[in-house]
Amino acid sequence: MHSYSLIAPAKINLYLEILGDRADGYHELVMLLQSISLADRLELRANGRQAFRIHCDSPQMPPQEQNLAYKAAQVMSQQFPDSFHQFGGVDITIEKHIPVSAGLAGGSTNAAAVLVGLNLMWELGLTQPELQEIAAQLGSDIPFCISGGTAIATGRGECLDPINSPDWLWVVLAKYRSLEISTPWAYNTYRQQFGDTYLTDADSIQSRASRVHSSPLVEAIVGQNGAQIGQQLYNDLEKVVLPEHPKIARLKGALQRSGVLGTLMSGSGSTVFALCDSQAQAERIKQELTDDLTDPDLGLWVAQLCSNGIHVGAVAKK
């Protein structure tokens, strides 16, 4: 059987607005999701057993059973027991480049790669929408990670409408490595503080969500206007995370003062990113921050906005 090496890009949020509560306990969201070139690499290799094993070089990864990549493999074996029986389990080796608990969908994109990889290895022939339906059971960001690029995301985040990627833009990502923010904490705190502003009827939510298609941000992306994109970046979760973690707010301020197109916290943080109009600008800002902040806990990465989700890096025959 073939073994597959898959590239799993991280994502950033160019926009995240919380509209209201859902009956399933999640939030109704409007987001603009964007893949970036910072990516993990996953190797999937048949192991001749009736089990999955995860190997990872990062000590920060959760234990196997809590790992989203493992959960994705388990779901596939439950949904396709005959194929699991026929082809057997898989050893999944994750080469980690995306920081963990960073608001960059690192765990989600690993799970997405496992779904795509098992579809190939077990010759299931599932279409992308079919894979995304399975992905939505595992996490709100995972359907997007499969297709990647740039997409308007509504509902829980799983209803996707792709648009052209502003892939000429670059980002500097900045994250204090020891600072991890729990996503449920961020959403629950937002509900406590801003729940009284939530839209409550389905029609208002629907019409608010559909307005994003003609929003200034989407128009700026379609019109390839980098300055306008930078000005329209927005994330509701900043309202709860930044006051709780002034360190992140100061980091965002330092990035903003460096003359970039715009800055934003991604997802529930703790990564903040600065949008840049060239690789040279991004590299210069990364160097300036390294020199000015001299904090060994601060991680900085340069990445390009990109138009692809999970893709095969290499195929090898056993």
Q: Which residues are annotated as a binding site for ATP?
A: 99-109
Tokens of 235: 């994330």
- Continuous H helices in 67-141: 68-79, 81-87, 106-121, 128-138
- Asked if residue 139 binds ligand C5P (CB under 6 A), the reply is yes
Tell me, yes or no, if 286 is annotated catalytic: no
Instruction: Please state the closest distance from residue 135 (CB atom) to ligand C5P, in A.
Output: 10
Q: Using CB under 6 A, which residues numbered 235 to 264 contact ligand C5P?
A: none
Give binding residues as ranges: 99-109
Question: What residues contact 73, with CB distance under 8 A and at least 6 apart?
Answer: 52, 89, 90, 92, 114, 118
Counting residues that bind ligand C5P (by CB under 6 A) gives 11
Instruction: Please state the closest distance from residue 168 (CB atom) to ligand C5P, in A.
Output: 29
- Asked if residue 208 binds ligand C5P (CB under 6 A), the reply is no
Question: With CB under 6 A as the contact rule, which of the stretches 48-56, 137-145, 204-212, 302-310 interacts with ligand C5P?
Answer: 137-145
- Asked if residue 141 binds ligand C5P (CB under 6 A), the reply is yes
Q: How far apart are CA 89 and CA 21, in angstroms?
A: 39
Instruction: Please state the closest distance from residue 234 (CB atom) to ligand C5P, in A.
Output: 16
Instruction: Please state the closest distance from residue 197 (CB atom) to ligand C5P, in A.
Output: 15
Q: Which of 55, 26, 23 has the alpha carbon at shortest distance from 40?
A: 55
Task: Give the C-alpha distances (Å, rounded to integers) separating 272 from 160, 210, 268.
Answer: 24, 27, 10
Q: Which is nearer to ligand C5P, 47 or 183 (CB)?
A: 183
Catalytic residue among 40, 141, 236, 286: 141
Q: Which of 14, 61, 21 has the alpha carbon at shortest distance from 40?
A: 61
Q: Which is nearer to ligand C5P, 121 or 153 (CB)?
A: 153
**135: number of Cβ within 10 Å:** 27
Distance of CA 95 to the CA centre of its chain: 17
Classify 276 as helix, strand or coil.
strand
Type of residue found at 68: L
- Phi, psi for 316 (deg, rounded to 5): -130, 145
Q: Which is nearer to ligand C5P, 135 or 275 (CB)?
A: 135
Q: Which is nearer to ligand C5P, 99 or 166 (CB)?
A: 99
Among positions 99, 106, 143, 157, the unique one binding ligand C5P when judged by CB under 6 A: 157
Q: How far apart are CA 128 and CA 150, in angstroms?
A: 16
Tell me, yes or no, if 96 is annotated catalytic: no
Q: Are 196 and 247 in contact (CB under 8 A)?
A: no
Instruction: Please state the closest distance from residue 142 (CB atom) to ligand C5P, in A.
Output: 8
Q: Contact letters (x/-) for ligand C5P, 266-295, by CB under 6 A?
A: ------------------------------
Q: Which of 28, 6, 67 has the alpha carbon at shortest distance from 195?
A: 28
Q: Using CB under 6 A, which residues numbered 24 to 43 contact ligand C5P?
A: 26-27, 29
Q: Are 98 and 39 in contact (CB under 8 A)?
A: yes
Q: Which is nearer to ligand C5P, 156 or 284 (CB)?
A: 156
Burial profile 232-248: b = 16 or more Cβ within 10 angstroms, e = fewer:
bbbbbbbebbbeebeeb
Instruction: Please state the closest distance from residue 316 (CB atom) to ligand C5P, in A.
Output: 32
Q: Contact letters (x/-) for ligand C5P, 161-200, by CB under 6 A?
A: ----------------------xx--x-------------
Question: Which residues form the interface with ligand C5P (CB under 6 A)?
Answer: 26-27, 29, 139-141, 156-157, 183-184, 187
Catalytic residues, which ones? 11, 141
